[in-house]
Chains A and B, each alone.
Chain A
Amino acid sequence: MFGNLFKKRRYIFEDESTMVFDMDQTAGRYYDEAMKKLEIEAYEGDEMIVNMGPQHPSTHGVLRLELVLDGELVKKVTPYLGYLHRNFEKHAENTSYNEVIPFCDRLDYLASMNQDLAYALAVERLIGLNELPEKVEYARVLCCELNRIASHLVAVGTFGLDVGAFTPFLWAFRDREKILDLLEWLSGARMLYNYIWVGGLARDLPGGWLAKVREFLDYFEPKMVEFNKVLTSNHIFIERTAHVGILDPDVAVSYGCTGPVLRGSGVKFDLRKDEPYSYYDKFEFDVPVGDGQFGPLGSVLDRFVVRIQEITESVKIIRQALDGIEPFTDQDVKQAIPRRIRPAADAEMYVRSETPRGELGFLIRSDGSDVPSRVKARSPCFSNINVVDDLSRGGLLADLVIIIGSLDIVLGCIDR
């Protein structure tokens, strides 16, 4: 193992004379023992350890990857997490149930509505609040799906950037900006909404908002066709991505991958369908899965295409929700908000929901006071990033960049 590295070492001196040390005779075995003690991986001699990140444009945040490279081939990838750790779980133990929601926003800052919904659902089930006004439920689905589109637009746009396509990135952000404007009108903030509260919504829907959403969808659908013409159907793009980062379905399941990463491998698992929460059982939509049309199943391209198709599905859901909310627009969105949240002592609830990145679960345990005794967040990105070593072993360094892009990680969600 260490033999090649340590047994024979050639030193080149300043006067260009060389000398070979036989390390077996000198210190080799001590090195071997020391390395064994430290459990350092064995390297074969030509490898090089390179740090990628935490400040690197294609790690999508402050992720540090320690790469073992053999020339341009990736031998091993070790993700180091924790650069964006903000102590969510401890904060949650010191603030009341409602006040946790702004912290939930900051977990996955690209899809805050979905995080809020997951947390609100968990607390609602904890206190047994199961009947909510129809308007609240429809509005929640509406803003969650809008946010899902916005989040997927970032994912596909930055993925295009990773493979070198700049125009689709700008187009995706242009359309995302329109969604953020809508949500800003709704909640007052562009990204960290604090809009979905336990038992209701923070504010009523502004007048004319629903019409504006409809208007946006009419604008957005042709734009998506345009986007697909430029990027998704581009043959160079397909050839670049269709044979890279193959994630087998069983590997994906064993790593606990969820969301588009799992569905890209052909596993049809979507909590909106399989374990419907809120009003998701009232809508008709498909769960797109990867088909491996241009290469092996579970490639980087499949994950990308799943996201593109999910955007279309979300548009479908939003249209149905817009029709569904129509008869209930007079309802008060704050009527079911509990005045005081005080679950029974030792009550415990785990609720999972489908965010754009996969299964987000909140485990909440109560000790009978106003403050949760424990809040644990099961982050989808945390499971998804662990698969990066499996995907990129034996590949090229340039492929690693698009593999990370296809996993669509948000470091706020990983580190919490």
Chain B
Amino acid sequence: MGNYFNNIFRAISTIAVGMAETWKAMFRPPITLQYPNERWQLPVNARGILFNNVDDCIGCFKCARICPVQCIYIDTVKALPDEDLGKASMGNPIRQHLVRFDIDMFKCCYCDFCTTVCPTECLYMTEEYENGVFSRENGIYHFSKYSPPEAMALRRREQEETMTKALAKEAALAAKKKAAAQKGKETAEA
């Protein structure tokens, strides 16, 4: 019986102590932010949406290779020998046309590996974190210096180049074979 009343007493007294604490909290300023109207102050190096400054990108594939989830897609076209694409702001010479640099932000795991390996520091994470979109295509971010027709023309140029090279190689091979066959004939005749 004593235990019973003791229990009641302790329950009431400890609740009173707790209620006193919560009462104090009534007079503290609220710490919640009214989100769309107010925003957090993000730290300097906060990791948000990736951004690539294509003017500085040399197309080295380092970011695509280190990405644990393979969310960076890069296509490059080699510059012609007489073409000068200039230099990145860090001094690295640019030797490729960057026809495609896509980042799938749905796949991205925000690990920050790609920005640490970037030699020209052109790939970095912005402080933007509101990247909700209505369709899957909009989550893929395209970065390119070239408009789609230009990129297409560059790709075609490379294709033609490889084609002509392959044709030339084939022709050279055929000529070699022919010469060898002729030589063999000559030796046989002799």
Contact = CB atoms under 8 A, between A and B. Distances in A.
Interface string B17-32: 1100110010000010
B68 A192 contact: no
B102 interface: no
Contact of B45 (A98, A194, A203): A203
A174 B28 CA distance: 13
A230 B43 contact: no
Which of B15, B25, B68, B116 gathers most chain A CB within 10 Å? B68
B46 A188 contact: yes
B18 A189 contact: no
A4 interface: no
A189 B43 contact: no
B18 A102 contact: no
Interface string B108-119: 011111001000
Contacts of A103: 68
Contacts of B116: 202
A188 B31 contact: no
A184 B43 contact: yes
A99 interface: yes
Contact of B112 (A95, A194, A230, A236): A194
Contact of A235 (B10, B43, B44): B10
A103 B17 CA distance: 45
B23 to A, nearest CB: 11
Contacts of A98: 66, 113
Interface residues of B, number: 27
B48 to A, nearest CB: 9
Nearest to A171: B25
Per DSSP, chain A at the interface is: helix
Contacts of A188: 43, 45-47, 112, 125
Interface residues of A, number: 31
B190 interface: no
Given A233-B17, A234-B15, A185 B112 contact: no
B14 interface: yes
B31 A192 contact: no
A99 B66 contact: yes
Nearest to B116: A202
Contacts of A91: 68
B7 interface: yes
Contacts of B133: none
Contacts of A174: 31
B1 interface: no
Contact of A236 (B15, B17, B22, B110): B15
A99 B113 contact: yes
Contacts of A233: 14, 17-18
Nearest to B43: A185
Contact of A234 (B18, B43, B125): B18
B109 A235 contact: no
Contacts of B45: 188, 203, 206
Interface of B: 7, 10-11, 13-15, 17-18, 21-22, 25, 31, 42-47, 66, 68, 109-113, 116, 125
Interface of A: 91, 95, 98-103, 105-106, 167, 171, 174, 184-185, 188-189, 192, 194, 202-203, 206, 226, 229-231, 233-236, 239
Given A188-B45, A192-B109, A235-B7, 7 more contacts: A99-B66, A102-B113, A189-B110, A203-B45, A206-B44, A230-B21, A239-B7
23 contacts: A95-B68, A99-B113, A100-B68, A101-B111, A102-B68, A105-B111, A171-B25, A184-B42, A185-B43, A188-B45, A188-B46, A189-B112, A192-B110, A203-B45, A229-B17, A229-B18, A229-B21, A231-B18, A234-B14, A234-B18, A235-B7, A235-B15, A236-B15
